[in-house]
Chains A and B, each alone.
Chain A
Amino acid sequence: MSIAELSHVSKSFGAVRAVDDVSFSVGKGEFFGLLGPNGAGKTTSIRILLDIFKPDQGSVAVMGGPMTEEKKNHIGYMPEERGLYQDIPLERALAYLASLKGLTTAQIRARLGEYLERFDLAAHRKKKVKELSKGMQQKAQIIATIIHHPDLLIIDEPFSGLDPVNTQMVKDLLRDLHRQGTTIIMSTHQMHQVEELCQRILLMNHGRVMLYGPLTEIRRRFSGHALLVRTPDGLPDLPGVISVEALNGAHRLNLTSTATPQEILKYLVDCNITVEQFEIALPTLDEIFIRVVRDQEQSV
């Protein structure tokens, strides 16, 4: 069942077409990645999904229909441009934002204490937000986004401004939420984070959809006719292999069009070569992204 769906959505600001005929749907319980360079149309797509902007064309469905005030209570949104009231104590700022998500005073008190402890902010609860470090403000923003236990979590560049320790903590938190059944849409341009966390992705560039589907399928689609082999022994001359490249202590074997991985594996075993790793060489998302963007620019 789809929890969020954009169908042939377009949106322009003046002469700039920010989003051009974009369609995608996110299933319940999915961890979905929205990828693309800066200015690709990711944030505009999210704002259209959240009913902040009205699309010029196309339709939007959230939790089975148009956005309502009630549905907003079940959505957590962390925008790329972080926003918290600067001049009031942290605890008060978070309590107010939580109250706007429909939480009662008792619920806010209980959950706020728990999250402030978990995010190591309990000692700073009385400080004004502007007195906190950038990393602390980032963590406070995450609390404001998840305190009401949303069914759908939409996060824009969640790792920007975080050090490695806090990045890991946020990753663990997102995994936890996903395990508990929260649907997550993560927009980012950090491809390796998507590779680690997401099941399906949408890659955008210049407002258009470039790639859409399960991550493994996309990587397989972009894989060349190549193998990744790790062995402590030297590699003999292998039939069906055009060239061999060294790659992070392993070997990348580029095959002829008629050679199969099974034939190569059989030949290695027959030659008594110790095989520590043998797999189809899949491209990284970074490589796919660069290839897709370059192809698009060449076609333009």
Chain B
Amino acid sequence: MNKMWRVMAYEYSRHVLRKRFLFALLSVPLWLLVMIAAAFLAVFLMTNRTPLGYVDYSGVLANPVPIDLEEGSPFTNIPILPFAAEDEARAALEAGRIQAYYVLPEDYLQTRRARLVYKEEPSSRIEDKFSAFVRRGLLARQPETVAERILDGPEFVIRAEQEGREVRSKEWMKIFAPAAAGVILATVVFSTGGYLMQAVVEEKENRTMEILVTSLSPMQIMAGKIIGLMAVGLTQVFTWSLVPAVGVALAAAYLPAFRASIDWGLVGLIFLLVMPTFVMISALMAAIGATVIEASEGQQITGLVSLPVMLPYMLIGALITNPGSPMAVALSLFPLTSALTILIRMAVATVPTWQIVTGAALLIVSAVGSLWLAGRIFRLGMLRYGQRIRWRELLASFRSAR
């Protein structure tokens, strides 16, 4: 196995097997699970599943079409029972066999008004449920495809003429995914970037660095650490995303609003922006680790890197209000801010292709440049115990590398 991969495997296992990491890793999804379970439990306890009755004098529901389970979760599924006359329905209500009943008068098709009779006011879900039932009844004589299309309701499509991009109101994934990727990027940057810096400072402090550099090159050490810690970050993100993903998948089984196909083009673009950003920031963090004397000192300096990365979030109001402003374009092209800015702008507007391509290209060039720069600083600073690097030395090192 290549030595770089050994470094990667070591860094990965060293961090992932730490108790505090495992605790942080599992506590977030567990907390989410508890929240989701509590929400389901609340709905379950608050839902009255006693059947709903109706009396149809209009003939709209002469051949009722049963509502399939898509219209409600097993927790909220309420049977709908027909009654020939209101007296029967009232008797059932009095006996507690139904929680309420609707009366559709003879002139329902003209007035579109139904009457709801109850002893205790039912939840608003009852109205939604019965409306859907009536809509299906009204469309019973239509061909199935027409009925489905009408039941689906309207969909707004916004199309950008020049870029050819379009956003559909029901494709919420296109709005949600870039914003989620931004949050993921920020999480990964803050957690793993910090780990990387700490790992380098520790190796300097416990003098392991001197042994490492006589076994493999500084570049192999850096690359192994960056990939290893990137894998740590992805493990964290994957585990944390698993619960919401399962939640969305479960919700999608019952609620059409949660149904969305994965846009692989968008996923690819997110990776194209997020990965070089991660490499660039990790390399800079490693370089900081190599130059400082103690981990605490490094944490103060990391603000210089993490602040610009988070700048688009601080300016999110301005970016959303005016996603095409010169400031938005400038932040989309500046490597430290480009990934988040582009992702935020993509959530609310169409980002011109040239800006995405230029931003991504500058990011990749910057990532490679940061690796090179960090390699030089790393080499210069890795064996400095209790001594800072001077700017003059750094510049001399860059000149000699040319």
Contacts and interface: CB of A to CB of B under 8 A. Distances in A.
Interface of A: 14, 47, 50, 52-54, 69, 72-73, 75, 77, 79, 81-86, 88, 96-97, 99-102, 144
Nearest to B214: A77
Contacts of B7: 100
Contact of B215 (A14, A79, A81, A97): A97
Contacts of A86: 206
A144 B211 contact: yes
Interface residues of B, number: 24
Interface of B: 3, 6-7, 10, 14, 203, 206-217, 220, 383, 385, 390, 393, 400
A100 B6 contact: yes
B210 A100 contact: no
A52 B210 contact: yes
A58 B210 CA distance: 23
26 contacts: A14-B390, A14-B393, A47-B383, A50-B213, A52-B213, A69-B3, A72-B216, A73-B215, A75-B214, A77-B211, A79-B211, A81-B385, A83-B208, A83-B209, A83-B210, A84-B206, A86-B206, A88-B14, A96-B6, A96-B10, A97-B211, A100-B3, A100-B6, A100-B7, A100-B212, A144-B211
Given A14-B390, A47-B383, A99-B6, A84 B214 contact: no
Contacts of A99: 6
Nearest to B215: A100
Given A69-B216, A81-B385, 11 more contacts: A52-B210, A72-B216, A75-B214, A77-B210, A81-B207, A83-B207, A96-B10, A97-B211, A100-B6, A100-B215, A144-B211
Nearest to A76: B214
B395 to A, nearest CB: 13
Interface centre among B214, B220, B393, B400, by most A CB within 10 Å?
Answer: B214
Contacts of A50: 213-214
B208 A85 contact: yes
Contact of A82 (B207, B212, B385, B390): B207
Contacts of A54: 400
A100 B212 CA distance: 8
A83 B215 contact: no
Contacts of A81: 207, 210, 385
Nearest to B10: A96
Contact of A100 (B216, B385, B390): B216
Q: Which 5 A-B pairs have the closest CB atoms?
A: A83-B207, A100-B215, A83-B208, A81-B207, A77-B214
A78 B10 CA distance: 21
B295 to A, nearest CB: 13
A96 B1 CA distance: 13
Interface centre among A14, A50, A100, by most B CB within 10 Å?
Answer: A100
A101 B215 contact: yes
A66 B10 CA distance: 29
Contacts of B383: 47, 52-53
B336 to A, nearest CB: 31
